[in-house]
Chains A and B, each alone.
Chain A
Amino acid sequence: DSGVTQTPKHLITATGQRVTLRCSPRSGDLSVYWYQQSLDQGLQFLIQYYNGEERAKGNILERFSAQQFPDLHSELNLSSLELGDSALYFCASSPSTLAGGRTDTQYFGPGTRLTVL
């Protein structure tokens, strides 16, 4: 158990809908990361938040957005869902961002499996 929790574990929804995935980082971790794991794209970095502020963006679609709240939990919002958004979405957390922007080890949650029908 990494200490990172994600809810829900499974989510089934229809095309065009909007969903919210939730992540609670390990106690004391300030950085939260979101990744998408799909069969065709593999594991891809989506976005990072550090202490409430967006720090880095990867290949995140405009239909997707995220935020980190004052209690450091994070939510990933996916809207206008398409069949291709079906994937496993991971949240990870790390203690801090080190000098020069480099970061510490990322610990991953169990993931949320999203199925879009």
Chain B
Amino acid sequence: AQSVTQPDIHITVSEGASLELRCNYSYGATPYLFWYVQSPGQGLQLLLKYFSGDTLVQGIKGFEAEFKRSQSSFNLRKPSVHWSDAAEYFCAVGDYKLSFGAGTTVTVRA
């Protein structure tokens, strides 16, 4: 069965500081991996995805993620956080049926 674990429910980070959100997955085959962001009252916006190839994936808004098969991880990073990055972030795995983690809420303090 496929599943995703996001160990951090809530992270607070200062504006301008770096951010790393953890994601561990369980999947039987080569995974399709995604990070989505949900701002309050909004839908899910795709940040980036990994299907195959280069394990370091660049996304929108300055985000990147690294796929590590040996650790079953797909952590999301951003070198310098902006106040507008405050949102809930979801890691997902799967193909036609996506399994989502519980989400990590990011708070950005001035």
Contact = CB atoms under 8 A, between A and B. Distances in A.
A64 interface: no
Contact of B96 (A42, A43, A55): A55
Contacts of A109: 43
B96 A108 contact: no
A25 interface: no
Interface in B88-110: 90, 92, 94-103
Q: Top 5 closest A-B pairs, CB basis?
A: A43-B100, A108-B44, A110-B43, A102-B95, A103-B96
Nearest to A98: B95
For the side of the interface on B, what is the size category? Answer: 20 to 34
23 contacts: A2-B46, A4-B43, A31-B96, A35-B98, A42-B100, A42-B102, A43-B92, A43-B100, A45-B98, A45-B99, A48-B96, A48-B97, A55-B96, A58-B97, A101-B95, A105-B34, A105-B46, A106-B34, A106-B46, A108-B36, A108-B45, A109-B43, A110-B42
A56 B98 CA distance: 11
Interface of A: 2, 4, 31, 33, 35, 42-45, 48, 55-56, 58, 90, 92, 97, 101-103, 105-111
